[in-house]
Structure formats: C-alpha cells, structure tokens
A and B are shown apart, each in its own frame.
Chain A
Amino acid sequence: MQALLSFDQAPPIAAPVRFLVTAPLFLAGLGVLLVLRGPEVFVSRWTGAALAATHLVTVGFLLQVMLGALIQILPVVAGAHVARPLALAAVVHGGLSLGGVALATAFLIGEPLLYGLAAVLLGGSVAVFLGVAGRTLYAVPTTSPTIGGLKLAFFALAVVAGLGVMLAGGLGFGWALPLADLADLHGGWGLGAWAGILLAALAYVVVPMFQLTPGYPLQPSKLFPRVLVAAMLSWTVAVAGAMPVVSRLAEGVAAATGIAFAVYTLNLQRKRRRARSDATFRLWQLGLVSMVVALAMAVATALFPNLSDRPGWTPLFAVLVGVGGYMSLVVGMMYKIVPFLAWLHLQNLAPGKSAPPINRFLPEHQAQRQAAVHGLAVLLLAVAAFFPEAGALPAGLAVLAAASWLELNLLTVLARYRQYRKDLVGQ
C-alpha cells in the first residue's frame, strides 16, 4: 500500500515543541521563588508568593503543556484537524508565556496593571485556542468517550478562564466580588473539571497504548466526565445560592469521582503486559497515588471543613494535586509523547525509509533519573508544607533541579530528532 507511513497530516513539530520547552522554565521559576521567598509560599494560600507559586505550576507549566500538546494530538485522538496549527501555536504560546509571567509578577508585587495585562493575555490566549481548536473539536462527531470528554473539558476551560479574569479584576481593580468563593470555584473547575477530564480523556487512549494495559470500559468512561461536570455545576449553583451543605456535598462527589478514576487506573497498570517499569509508569504511579491522597483530603475537608485550618493541610493538598499529581502525570506522558512525535515526523519526512526506533530518541535512564529527582522534589515540597522555614530551600533546589533536567531531556529528544533528520533526508 502506498502512502504507507505518511499516515497523518500531523501539524509541524514546531507547533507543540515551543510550548513543551517553555513549560520547564516556569517550573524553574517556581524553584527560584521557593529559594528566595520560600516560607511565604507555604504560610497561607492567599500570600502573593503562594498565588504566584500556584500559577507558575498551573498556568506556566500545566496549561502550557496541555494546550501545546492538544494542538498536536487532537488529530490523532479525535480526528480533529486544526487549521493553521503553526499560527495558532504562535499566538497561544506567546499569550500564555507573557501572560504567565505577568500573572506571577502581579501576585508578587501587586501591580494592578499587571493583573489587567495577565487577564487580557491569558483570557485572550484561551479564547483564541477555544475559538480555533474548540470549534474544530466540536465539529467532529462524538464517536468515543475520549472525544466526549475533550468536549466537556474545553467547556470547563472556558469557565476556568472566565472565573480567572473576574478574579484578576477583583484583585487588580477592586471589583466587588466574593473572592474566596470565586477562587475555590476557579480552582475546582481548573484542577477538577478541566485538567481532570482532559487527563482522563487522554488516559483512555495513552494508558492502554503506551503502558500496554487493558482498556477503560465503555460506560464508566462516558460517565466520569459527565459526573465531574455535573458536580462542578452543582457546586457553582450552590455557591451562588449560598447553600453551603450542597456546596460541600458537590465538592465531595467531585473528589470521590476523581478517586474512583485514579484507583481504576492504578489497577489497570497492575495488569499491564509490559514487564519493565519505565519512567512513565513510575511517574504515573506517583501521580495517581498523590491524587488519591489529595482527593481523600478533599473529601475529608468537605465532611469536616475545619480541617483546612490545620497547619500544613492546605499547602500539602496543593503540593499533592499540582506537583505530585498533575505534574507527574503530565511529565510521564511527555516522555512517551515527545519521542513518539519526533519519530512520527521523521517517518513522515522520509517515506520508504525507516526512522530510528522510538526509544533511541531519549535514553531511558535519563528519563528515570529526572523522574527520581521529580519524586524527591514532591517529597521535599510535602515536608516544606509542614516545616516551611527549614523545608522551603531544599524543596526549591529540588524543583530547580527537576525542571532543569526535564528541559535537558526534552532538548535531547530535539537534538536527536535534528540529527536523525539530517541522516535521513540530509536537511
């Protein structure tokens, strides 16, 4: 059969790569912040340093990787071919990067204009992404739980961004808003609905594909995103209508749903057909276990709200969700997806020739060592949640090391991609 391996009109590799190599820089920024102003990050969730740290992880790292990867993988997982992917990538990447810096700086120095700038840049980037990629996604029929999940995740992202812009108005320009309630909803929609559903929808594809496990059963896969969105909508209505019991119930249901997904995935991993435990497998285990613990804390907080006043409780929750949970899962996926994309592009560039095997793009031990440093960073951050004065500096240094190593690993894949491209097609 002709056109043997030009099997996908995948966007140029430059489209996702710019996001992926920028994301670790924000993580390094978190490391520096912890080194310089560490104890402030852990003392309360409302300090400027804590808010900056949170958003360096969520906007600077997670959102950056997620949107960049989506531009690349929407055709593969959903058959949704985004028009002009390079132009979309340039606009969204520029807005996210500048917006991420503006937002972190706004939190640190409290300058109203920076809040405004961050809101325009980040809100604008998300709006452009949803306007282009979202429109393409919504145009494809929902033929799998992955596509259904992605559609709901995109809706959730619009809510997160809308709430974020309102909060920036509240903090920067004194808009009269219930900031604490809005911040809870913003975090819930962001980490629960948007990131949670996105990760699950992609996990339905990548966990069986790369870790050689059984698949996710059909009905629960369809149900999971719907239950999460229903819980988040109920939570939102309960906050708006001042119904604290309903609000806590919805929060508890959302967290319990997340636990069910994470435990199911851990169980799938036990049934994998691949004998060796590679970096992705280990990072996913760390990510899923961190998530289960964090979400159990969320259920406990919904039942006993006073728990959140205990020293260390809220920062530990943030560390376990953001760095132990989502970041581990995302980095684990990067170690499979980035070499795979490099291989795929080479194969497409030189039909009829064989690109080097995928595992040649990044030595496994290099990924394993970075994963180990990442795990150490999670542990030290968890310690720092309880002992900020003594713990912040070592945690910051570990985060800095994990970020630098991740960047080095990504650049290694790219350097080898360029080298192999030269060998294969002479350019």
Chain B
Amino acid sequence: MSHPKSSYVLDARFLEPPEPFVKTMEALDSLPEGARLLLLLYREPHPLYRVLDQNGYRYETEQVADGTFEILIWPA
C-alpha cells in the first residue's frame, strides 16, 4: 500500500489492540534508513507518542476528513 506521504504505510485502522502498537514497533525496527513510516489509525495514539519521544523518534499527525489520523514517524 502506498500513500503520497510515504511508501511505508501501516494501516492499523481495523486491528484490535494491542496489535497496532506491536506492529508499529515492528515496522519501525525494520524501517530502511532515511525512510518515514506512515501509520493510519482512527484515534490519536497518545501512549505511542510517549514511546516515540522516549526512543528518539519524531512524528507529525494530521486528521483527515473521514476521521483517519495520519501519523508520519521518522528517527530524529
């Protein structure tokens, strides 16, 4: 799945907790250097933000019209 914001997309919108979190961690661990991960969710993942902050990642979040939160994540 590709997206204008990134070619590394994790669509976690229909996954049950804690799968979105676990899969995000896995995706970040295997993210190629210089790439950015785009995570799609129907909620703003505040607990994930804390982990990203603690582990030196940066992120940018935008909520689009259908309610999806697009969270772009990259190593600082």
Q: Interface on A for B, CB 8 Å cutoff?
A: 1-5, 7-9, 75-79, 143-146, 204-205, 208-210, 212, 214-219, 221, 273-274, 340, 343, 347, 358
Contact = CB atoms under 8 A, between A and B. Distances in A.
Interface string B58-73: 0001011111110000
Contacts of B16: 210, 212, 274
Nearest to A336: B17
Contacts of A146: 43-44
B51 interface: yes
B66 A217 contact: yes
Given A5-B21, A78-B46, A347-B18, 4 more contacts: A209-B42, A214-B67, A218-B66, A219-B65
Chain A CB within 10 A, most for which of B50, B64, B68: B50
Given A8-B50, A75-B46, A79-B46, A1 B66 contact: no
B61 A221 contact: no
Interface of B: 13-18, 21, 25, 28-29, 42-44, 46-51, 54-55, 61, 63-69
Q: Which 4 A-B pairs have the closest CB atoms?
A: A215-B67, A215-B42, A79-B46, A208-B42
Given A77-B46, A144-B44, A208-B13, A218 B51 contact: no
Contacts of A219: 65
B25 A4 contact: yes
A208 B20 CA distance: 13
Contacts of A217: 65-67
A178 to B, nearest CB: 42
A210 B20 CA distance: 12
A214 to B, nearest CB: 7
A373 B69 CA distance: 38
Chain A CB within 10 A, most for which of B16, B46, B63: B46
B68 to A, nearest CB: 6
A214 B29 contact: no
A1 B29 contact: yes
Contacts of B50: 7-9
B64 A218 contact: yes
